[in-house]
Amino acid sequence: MPPIKPIQTPGFGVGLSFKRKLNKNEDSEMTILSDVKALGQQIWLDNLSRSLVQSGELAKMLQQGVCGVTSNPAIFQKAFAGDALYAEEVAALKKQAISPKERYETLAIADVQAACDVCLPEFEASGGKKGFVSLEVAPNLSHNAAGTIEEAKRLHAAINRKNVMIKVPTTDEGIEALQQLVSDGLSINLTLLFSRKQTLKAYAAYVRGIQARLAAGKPVNNIQVVASFFISRIDNALDVTLPEALQGKVAISLAKAAYQDWQQFFSSTEFAELAKQGVNPVQLLWASTGVKNPAYSDTLYVDSLIGKNTVNTVPDATLKAFIDHGTAKPTLAENADEAQTVLAEAAKLGVDLETLATRLQNDGLKQFEEAFTKLLAPLE
């Protein structure tokens, strides 16, 4: 793909930044998260459990500026194993003549419904742009388009909340499913993206699904899609092979390039015509933003990726660190030329980012499958 020229993004103030450390008595809404929201980015929580909802902690996070929630099989596996609030219902479900997967879905759907209800005021106040909660289809469907479509529609109907997103891995089959699911009116969270090319394929599939829905005379303004681009796993895979000058820089540079791809795609005259009909652009979502290398700032993948019309989903520890000592500044559109230079230098050293993306996506699918197996075992 040829180098992409930086595009000026309306709404970014040069030098505009916020840095704030909370006092215990400071108003809960006056956090750095509100500053990020003002810069056009949503911060979502990458965690969900029964205790998180029932304790009121999730509601408190929404007051502080969190705008949504993501989950995955690994998150639910951890929640079921460590949260005592599930024990009684698990015992009751195991007495029923249903499969372990059906027991899991009973628990997970209830959690997602409860989280959707907590996030509903954010959804309504934003006109349906924020306040989403994601639930993923079973990992073993990642290469089964028809199976993904069937399960996504079934889960969507079972949850029965207007602010739910169904999470679909962005394999070729997942992209095929996306087109149909958007045509059917579902909001989708595309997950496990590491590739710019695959992300652009997903945008095109989204547009085809939207066009089919418009042709059928159905509403489109209620459909939201996010494309979850994974960050820290890229640096984690590459840093051991790179000179020190490039360590910790490739993932952020790749994200900046992906953002420029996004700007070009959704600022096109073709999409402008769709936008006139109420079509929403896909939003890039930065995932895997917890820092794995202790040599880096624990807010590196939040501070460096703040940009308009994006989302960053963060684990609890990263959220806490960012509120404590993060910086809110529109960094995503900055230093685009430098980002292209980093990617070019990596390529000169033999780094093939598309090959790496395929490997990391396969690794991620395997990790989710393993987590799903562990999740189901106690529900046998």
24 domain-assigned: no
Q: Stretch 309-325: mean pLDDT, rounded?
A: 96
10 domain-assigned: no
Pairing of strands 133-136, 164-169: parallel
89 domain-assigned: yes
3 state SS of 260: helix
Query: Per-residue pLDDT tens for 15-24?
Result: 334 444 444 4
Confidence of residue 281 (pLDDT cuts 50, 70, 90): very high
310 domain-assigned: yes
Please check whether residue 309 is in contact with residue 275, taking contact to mean a CB–CB distance below 8 angstroms.
no
337 domain-assigned: yes
Instruction: Quote the crossing angle between the two packed helices 100-125 and 73-82, to the nearest 10°.
Output: 110
Q: Which of 159, 158, 154 is nearest to 181 (CA)?
A: 154
**Residue 167 in this model has a pLDDT that exceeds 60:** yes
CATH code, 145: 3.20.20.70
Q: Which of 114, 118, 110, 23 is nearest to 62 (CA)?
A: 118
Q: Check residue 138 and give its pLDDT.
A: 97
23 domain-assigned: no
- What per-residue string of b and e applies to 18-33 under the rule 16 or more CB within 10 Å gives b? eebeeeeeeeeeebbb
Q: Which two tokens stand for residue 301?
A: 């993948």
Please check whether residue 35 is in contact with residue 328, taking contact to mean a CB–CB distance below 8 angstroms.
yes
Q: What angle do CA 366, 361, 1 make, to 5 degrees?
A: 170
Please check whether residue 351 is in contact with residue 253, taking contact to mean a CB–CB distance below 8 angstroms.
no
Confidence of residue 31 (pLDDT cuts 50, 70, 90): confident
List the alpha helices (DSSP H) in 17-170. Answer: 32-38, 50-54, 57-64, 73-82, 87-94, 100-125, 145-159
Q: Check residue 105 and give its pLDDT.
A: 97
Query: Per-residue pLDDT tens for 36-72?
Result: 999 999 999 999 999 999 999 999 999 999 999 999 9
First-to-last C-alpha distance (Å) of the chain = 48
Domain count across the chain = 1
Residues in the chain: 380
3 domain-assigned: no
- H-run or E-run covering 167: strand 164-169
Active site residues: 167
Q: Check residue 286 and give its pLDDT.
A: 98
**Residue 3 in this model has a pLDDT that exceeds 60:** no
Query: Per-residue pLDDT tens for 254-272?
Result: 999 999 999 999 999 999 9
Q: Which two tokens stand for residue 10?
A: 């309306």
6 domain-assigned: no
Query: Per-residue pLDDT tens for 126-136?
Result: 999 999 999 99
Q: Stretch 138-147: mean pLDDT, rounded?
A: 97
Q: Check residue 30 and give its pLDDT.
A: 54
Tell me the C-alpha distance between 100 and 81, whole Å: 15
The single residue listed with the structure tokens 């989708």 is 188
Dihedral, CA atoms, 21, 23, 28, 31, nearest 10 degrees? -10
The parent domain of residue 107 ranges over 32-379
